[in-house]
Amino acid sequence: MQRFLCKGSVSGMDKVQEPEFPVRKVDTASLKALAHPLRVQILEMLSRYGPQTACSLAELLDESSGATSYHLRQLAKFDFVHEVQGKGTARERWWERPRGAIQITSPELAHSPATQEASRLVTREFERSRQAVLADFMAHGMDSLDEDWLDAAIVNTANARMSAEQLGRYARSMEAFARNLLEEIRNEPEADDARPVQIHFNAFPILGVPAWAGDKKSRDAKSHAAATEGKES
């Protein structure tokens, strides 16, 4: 799981009890170490498919095993990945991503142009990967999945007008609820028909909004002007 915004408290609505779930807050050194497209892709593959070797990651990413092996070692130096104990050999090591979320941005990191650019690179790469998976599902899901999977899947968008406090309250409550349910499912025995599933939940302010559309007084004035246009003598 990747988390790009700072943690916040839930207030003003029924709080959802969050399970113990580690959130890794990166510092400057670890953020710069992560800021490489192939390293972000390696983390994404480990998240999707579980423990992998350098060779299996190379096959998934169409890279050389030498490249994936090198970047795995660099990620391991900053605890983004670690070896799977009791699995593999000295010549074929298995790697996994530690449980928990990674918080890429924070007020502390936002003050430095260098860390801002590193953060942008990491978030762009995670987002590119997410968009590719969603586009593939939208384009080919109906041809490759049976009815049960198509019925279970959902791509949903909702729009609302909110204050920053309301958006934060909504996002944290939804995150806590989703995390509880996901941990519950993860603790169940794996079904025979289980397959990798990716879950998206986005909640963010829309940028580039026209001034009149983003301001209630201006919006109301524009609506009134439109309603009275052509009626004045």
State which amino acid sits at residue 56: S
pTM for this predicted structure = 0.77
State which amino acid sits at residue 173: S
The per-residue pLDDT for 231 is 57
pLDDT tens string 69-115: 999 999 999 999 999 988 877 788 999 999 888 888 777 777 788 88
The per-residue pLDDT for 54 is 96
- Going 158 to 151 to 128 to 182, the CA torsion angle's sign is positive
Phi, psi of 122 (to 5 degrees): -65, -45
Helix or strand run (H / E) with residue 157:
none
- Over 90: is that where the pLDDT of 207 sits? no
* Strand pairing class (2-3; 101-103): parallel
User: Can you spell out the DSSP letters for 192-229?
Assistant: TT-----------PPSS--HHHH-HHHHHHHHHHHHHT
State which amino acid sits at residue 189: P
CA–CA dist 35, 107 (Å, integer): 18
**Which letter does DSSP use for residue 146 in this model?**
-
The per-residue pLDDT for 90 is 75
State which amino acid sits at residue 104: I
